[in-house]
């Protein structure tokens, strides 16, 4: 069992989290004591209130707020909001946490104010996360952890963690895991690092990650490799962000050359997405750049006969990005690259490099690309 | 770079792999020299030739063979089969490997006999795997690795691997990875282990894995925990199998109480599936047992109000299992459990235990279940 109860030491951020929860609760209480209807002010999370901030480089919530006042109609969700904040507080104090799914089930013991559907508990959780976010606190700080798996990591990195029972420091040397790798935990908040890497290489597919790891590419390239496995999960995004911030490292993305790779995988990693704008500030990776595969790489590395025709969904996604995506619109290089891809009419996967031999990617492609970091897409 | 070329030492299994490939090639050559049409005999992989062997406890190929003779119509696939076997041989010699996707791309340099679609290269690869399987050789031995991610591992286990460049031994202590975990590599063939665990606990969801890991459940329970993340991938299945075999450990599965959990997740882990029968013998985990959540657990642990109604797809899947699944048919306890679930009309997730508190699963559910290992489903 983990140590818990009063003896668990709270750090500064924990204290701030409890302070934010208490200030909301005290306001509710003050209103009740004064004979007024209590209310809670919550940031509006709908897309109307989301903007892409070019200077900050991510999607974020605007200033609109909604006020949840206690009425006959809102009594249940009002109570749920308060109980969920109380749950969060308890978890902070006891150094525990819950996934979205667990939060939903915890409520089954709340009698009349239990959640009927997980969609309902998710919405209330998002509301509380939005309040915390306005105070600079991440969802992990509230002890709401993502359900999904984190990616794998290998390379020139020591992760400094702790034994959750004894509190002892634990060091994981990601250069000494053989053919295996370090599996990213669901929260990276408490981690620190030691590294002499020059950059982080974030890789789309597990197959490519395994190749670069088995051949210890990261050794000579002086880097850390991270497997995203398609669109990176929140745990993976937060880990890369914390690592990039704490160690001041650029993040280079090695992704398929197709609209999905550009606008879903890469863009999600770098700037986040509109419908989770209340937490993007903690998840986005502003120092991410797109190493490849670029449309020009298809020509420069002779991959034409290892490409596939763009499907109608690819074309639609590309056109949609050109017309409606504020991140793409802000970067002429991206407009040019997507336009070039549409003109070529094909897409290429990162594994297509195997056409020139399984390890062409290690011996030729990555060294040539890394020699010209200015050529990366923004 | 990994060491490669003639100096790479081949082990016994590598030598046997090359021997099998050479014997097929020599037969082809002998026929040509004698002026006869060359042919290759391949096990039939269609479902007609798949049977569930109750004694062995897994789905396996029957004895039917097809003969691929060189004709005008088969010239291309005949050449592809030989080239792919040659590729496998080269990879064995150079201690490299390829994913299915990479194999497809490698062929882009084969001129006229390149593969047009990955489905074609997959089929030829499966044929070669079936030949090797008949000689007791796994697909990993041919150096065909799965694309998909392996799950995570933590607990009382030291994985003994090697540095692929220097050949030095690498030991990974899975009890000392903090809140992180060991990410299973795509091939477990070369791994060995040291452990004082009493069993392996294979867990369906990442959220539950993280909970048991963060609270170091495995420490007092003397076990190794493995995250399956839904239906386990081939890398995860093979890892569990090799671990169970080499260390003589039973494997207990902790999965949702629903037809998908029983017949897809658990059954795939234990006996494999009909459409990959040619490799099931290497992937199945005969020592797997079903710890829970069982239909009876819903009653015994008071989870009734944390259940969900069975959907029509659940009911269909359950009925289908009762009528057509030879594994279920072979086990009266499974017939009884699925019949009970259909009668109750509900399903329960493993997270439903959170109804009684986040750590009820650690403090109450698992200890009670583990005290009665005879109560597990087969």
Query: Which residues in chain A are closer than 8 Å to B144, comparing Cβ atoms?
Result: none
pLDDT in tens, A129-183: 999 998 999 999 999 988 777 899 999 999 999 998 899 999 999 999 999 999 9
Q: How close is the nearest chain B Cα to the Cα of A171, in Å?
A: 7
Give the pLDDT score at A157. Answer: 98
**Listed residue (A224, A143, A130) closest to A184, CA to CA:** A224
Q: For A114-123, what is the mean pLDDT? A: 92
Q: For residue A5, what pLDDT is reported?
A: 46
The model's pLDDT over A187-228, given as tens digits with 9 standing for 90+, comes to 999 999 999 999 999 999 999 999 999 999 999 999 999 999
Note every long-range contact of A230-233, with CB atoms under 8 Å and residues 24 or more positions apart, other chains counting: A230/A204, A230/A205, A230/A265, A231/A264, A231/A265, A231/A268, A232/A151, A232/A202, A232/A265, A232/A268, A232/A269, A233/A146, A233/A148, A233/A149, A233/A150, A233/A151
Which of B2, B207, B349 has its CB closest to that of A214? B2
pLDDT at B221: 97
pLDDT at B10: 83
Nearest by CB: B170 against A178, A187, A363: A178
Contact: B179, A165; criterion CB under 8 Å: no
Tell me whether residues B1 and A205 touch, CB distance under 8 A: no
Nearest CA in chain A to B103: A354
Bigger pLDDT: A39 vs A200: A200
Query: Which of A59, A40, A34 minimizes the C-alpha distance to A49?
Result: A59
Strand partners, A289: A252
- Write out chain B's pLDDT in tens, 378 residues: 444 444 456 889 999 999 999 999 999 999 999 999 999 999 998 888 888 888 887 888 888 999 988 888 889 999 999 999 999 999 999 889 999 899 999 999 899 899 999 999 999 999 999 999 989 999 999 999 887 778 999 999 999 999 988 999 999 999 999 999 999 998 999 999 999 999 999 999 999 999 999 999 999 999 999 999 999 999 999 999 999 999 999 999 999 999 999 999 999 999 988 778 888 889 999 999 999 999 999 999 999 999 999 999 999 999 999 998 989 999 999 999 999 999 999 999 999 999 999 999 999 999 999 999 999 999
Active site positions of A, annotated: 105
Nearest to B306 by CA among A187, A109, A197, A374: A109
Match 């408490």 to its residue by tokens: A190
Checking if the pLDDT of A345 tops 80, the result is yes
pLDDT at B8: 55
Look at residue B53 in the predicted model and tell me its pLDDT.
82
Distance CA B78, CA B38 (A): 9
> pLDDT digits over A15-35, tens only?
999 999 999 999 999 999 999
| From B99, B108, B216, residue closest to A207, measured CB to CB | B99
Instruction: Give yes or no for residue A7 having a pLDDT over 50.
Output: no
Distance CA B215, CA B217 (A): 5
Strand, coil or helix: A306:
helix
pLDDT of residue A61: 86
Tell me how far apart the alpha carbons of residues B158 and A177 are, in angstroms, rounded to a whole number.
11
Q: Based on the number of CB atoms within 10 Å of its own CB, is B163 exposed (0-12), middle (13-18) or buried (19 or more)?
A: middle
Q: State the average pLDDT for chain A.
A: 92
What confidence tier does A8 reach under pLDDT thresholds 50, 70, 90? low
Residue A105 pLDDT more than 90?
Answer: yes
Spatial distance between the Cα atoms of A255 and B85, rounded to a whole number of angstroms: 30
Q: For residue B177, which of B161, B159, B190, B189 has the smallest C-alpha distance?
A: B159
* C-alpha span between A282 and A138 (Å, rounded): 6
Percent of chain A residues past pLDDT 90, beyond the cut:
78
Q: Do B210 and A177 touch (CB under 8 A)?
A: no
Contact A355 B108 (CB under 8 A): yes
Tell me which chain A residue has its CA closest to the CA of residue B167. A178
Residues on chain A touching B172 (C-beta within 8 angstroms): 176-178, 180
Whether residue B97 lies within 8 A of chain A, CB to CB, comes out as yes
Phi first, then psi, for residue B190 (nearest 5°) are -90, 0
**Contact state of A184 with B182 under an 8 Å Cβ cutoff:** no
Per residue in A286-307, pLDDT (tens digit) is 999 999 999 999 999 999 999 9
Whether A367 has a pLDDT exceeding 70, the answer reads yes
Nearest to B162 among A96, A178, A219 (CB): A178
Phi-psi region of A180 (alpha: psi -120 to 50; beta: other; left: phi over 0): beta
For residue B200, the model assigns a pLDDT of 98
Residue recorded with tokens 């620190």: A192
Given this model, what pLDDT does residue B4 score?
Answer: 47
In sequence order, the β-bridge partners of residue A243 are none
């Amino acid at each position: 069992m983990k140590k818990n109860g009063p003896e668990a030491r709270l750090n500064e951020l924990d204290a701030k989290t409890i302070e934010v929860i208490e200030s909301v609760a005290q306001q509710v209480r003050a209103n009740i004591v004064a004979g007024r209807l209590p209310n809670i002010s919550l940031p509006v999370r709908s897309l109307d209130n989301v903007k892409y901030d070019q200077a900050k480089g991510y999607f974020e919530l605007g200033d609109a707020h909604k006020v949840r006042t206690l009425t006959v109609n809102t009594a249940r969700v009002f109570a749920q909001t308060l109980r969920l904040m109380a749950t969060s507080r308890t978890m902070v104090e006891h150094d525990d946490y819950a996934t979205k799914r667990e939060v939903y089930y915890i409520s089954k013991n709340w009698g009349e104010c239990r959640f009927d559907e997980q969609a309902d508990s998710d919405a209330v959780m998002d509301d509380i996360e939005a309040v915390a976010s306005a105070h600079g606190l991440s969802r992990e700080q509230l002890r709401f952890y993502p359900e999904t798996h984190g990616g794998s990591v290998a390379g020139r990195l020591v992760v400094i963690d702790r034994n959750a029972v004894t509190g002892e420091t634990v060091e994981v040397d990601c250069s000494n895991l053989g053919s295996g790798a370090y599996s990213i935990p669901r929260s990276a908040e408490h981690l620190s690092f030691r590294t002499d890497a020059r950059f982080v290489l974030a890789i789309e597919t597990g197959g490519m990650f395994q190749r670069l790891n088995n051949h210890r590419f990261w050794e000579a390239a002086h880097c850390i490799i991270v497997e995203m496995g398609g669109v990176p999960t929140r745990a993976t995004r937060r880990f890369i962000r914390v690592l990039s911030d704490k160690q001041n490292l650029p993040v280079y993305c090695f992704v398929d050359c197709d609209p999905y790779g550009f606008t879903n995988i890469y863009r999600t990693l770098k700037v986040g997405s509109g419908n989770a704008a209340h937490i993007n500030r903690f998840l986005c990776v502003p120092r991410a750049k797109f190493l490849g595969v670029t449309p020009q790489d298809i020509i420069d590395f002779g991959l034409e006969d290892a490409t596939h025709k763009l499907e109608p969904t690819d074309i639609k996604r590309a056109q949609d990005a050109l017309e409606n995506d504020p991140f793409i619109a802000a970067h002429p290089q991206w407009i040019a690259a997507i336009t070039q891809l549409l003109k070529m009419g094909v897409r290429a996967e990162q594994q297509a490099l195997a056409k020139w031999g399984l390890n062409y990617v290690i011996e030729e492609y990555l060294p040539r690309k890394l020699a010209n970091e200015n050529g990366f897409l923004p």
